[in-house]
Structure 1
Amino acid sequence: MDFQNEIVKWYKINKRELPWRNTTDAYVIWLSEIILQQTRVEQGLPYFNKFLAHFPTVSSFAEATENQVLKLWQGLGYYSRGRNMLFTAKQVIENHDGIFPVQYEKLIQLKGIGEYTAAAISSFANNQAKAVLDGNVFRVLARYFGIGEPINSTVGKKVFSELAQSLIENQSPSLYNQAIMEFGALQCKPKSPPCNICPLQVNCYAYKNNKVNDLPLKLKKVKVKERWFNYFVGIHNGYVLTKQRKPGDVWQHLYDFPLIETDGKPDFEDESFIVSVKNTFGKNVRITPIIQKKHLLTHQIIYVQFFGLDNYIVNFNLHTDIKSVLLEEFEEFPHPKVISDFISLYLKN
């Protein structure tokens, strides 16, 4: 009980004032939780405010188009979260009479809502005794209790889940869950936590055994894949060449420029590369390198090269995935961040 009491006491003094903490509206809490997945609060807060302003209710969200949602989501990454949100909003309208559920058992059945999110919403909106387990909570529990099981292993998940659930018993679920998450975010930080002022210091296994930098343990990530994207920027009379990305790959359904992917950095003496360019943009096309970028995703490193196009011709009957649209229209489409950054730097000036 000392563990829970100290964390709650710390939280009441040190918590950040965040808009989703002042409501029990499950829809608003859901918005914040999905947006903040794998996103820092400082980065996610403006997105939360934008989404809530555009879609103040789950009904208004359900009426949105995918392009509207993805445009608002632009820059957050993990775009499947945005698409899942739209699907979930429609599920709530169709299956729950437009009322966002607050029970864990119903929440867990909605698309894009896993065990953590269902626990967070049900505890914050309904005070249901479901313990949250996010990266912050894993870290606090691993260090304080000295748990050596990897947090992403099957055994580790079971150990942490049972411990977390035992700790929330006889607590105010909403208060305790928010407290331990905030404690991990601000006090028991991943790197260089201020252990000298930590209220849990006396009984913390990691602190007493000099293991703060060793816990929690995590199984090694899968090998990162490297890819080379070569974008071709064709602009003529206020129109720009674009295409919508297909399902089954990164950035699905977002809009970018015509692309040729290569196995490595493009070589202008590589006949296959030049043939591919001419097959798409005509035998008299001229290309000019503009800028190179390195774009990091969770399991991929994408090396991006932008080329300017001159004297190009596109057979739209043959290359049906490429479209020519007004530049102003193109800017309103949802794009991957690497494309939106390019637009801001090179097409708006």
Structure 2
Amino acid sequence: MPSFRVPTIDISAWVGRGSPDARAAVVAAVDHACRTVGFMQIVGHGIPDAAVADLAAGLDEFFALPLEAKKTYVRPASENRGYSPPKSESLSYSLGVDPVTRMNDFFEAFNVGTSAAEYPGSTATPEDYAANTWPTDTTVFEPAVRTFYDEARRVAHTLTRVFAAALRVPEDFFDDLTGHSIDVLRMNNYALPPGTIELDGELTGMGEHTDFGLVTVLWADQVKGLQVLGSDGSWNDVSPADGALLVNLGDVAARLTNDRWMSTLHRVKPPVIDGTIERRRSAAFFHDGNADAVIAPLPHFVSPDAPALYDPVTVREHIAAKLAGSRAGRRNVTAVREAARVAASRG
């Protein structure tokens, strides 16, 4: 097997007015990454350095609050908004895989996303597009997060245009699937005050999982922890290059392409150094698609030799099953293919 590698792709030709040849080169590189790895490093994305620095400062401000203060921003699990305390989730349940101990992921997180009010005249409802909760005891956090959210959404929209070209569908194909997309920015913190988490052999940063939607745009600092499953069953360390965003496909992309493109399993392992966890921060923008969009393999990816691997499902149904696993502790029994890959992985 060739060594595992996450390719670096400059998408500036699609962010600006690149030549047809330059754009075609981006499409070919993205298509190859989607078929072989499911992850890529994106540069030339156009997000200002200042927006990233402000985001990091905002995360530091919020996560430095006392745990009891942060817990006042906990929302019902089904809403996928607000604060998630340590050990309140287990991402492996979203695949139907039992963790070592129940609800064992030690990270803490804060989620914001699109609300129904942002999609007037659409079929969006508050049940699928909950309103946001913003901390009242921070000053940097909200403006910094709002700015980065808008930038990450722009990058996701650019990538769907590249995807349309790579899949040889009309350039507006994804407009019908994402016109009122469920978009969520999840900000994660992997280092907690002493005494809040017991360091033991069963500690998991974030369990094995695939992302739920179409595409994920991730900012992360360069502390080790993220691991991606290779096609040979090995887990491989991945950290972003200077100025790069990590981009990976989610389940919606895999379903649309009948697994021609990969929704790759990944996890986060806690880097424990001298008995403490080294600080790691990340912010993942999930571009998931319309709640009522029906996702099924595209016809040109189905043939007698490659029958459809997935039954049609709405984005709403798919995400609800995954969230019921990761955030409510009810094993997702529909993720048979993904669970089998976890079982076959090494280490």
Relative to the length of structure 1, the TM-score reads 0.23
Could you say which structure has the greater relative contact order, defined with CA pairs below 8 angstroms and 6 or more residues apart?
Answer: 2
Whose strand fraction is larger, Structure 1's or Structure 2's? 2
Larger CA Rg, structure 1 vs 2: 1
TM-score scaled by structure 2?
Answer: 0.23
Q: Which has the higher helix share?
A: 1
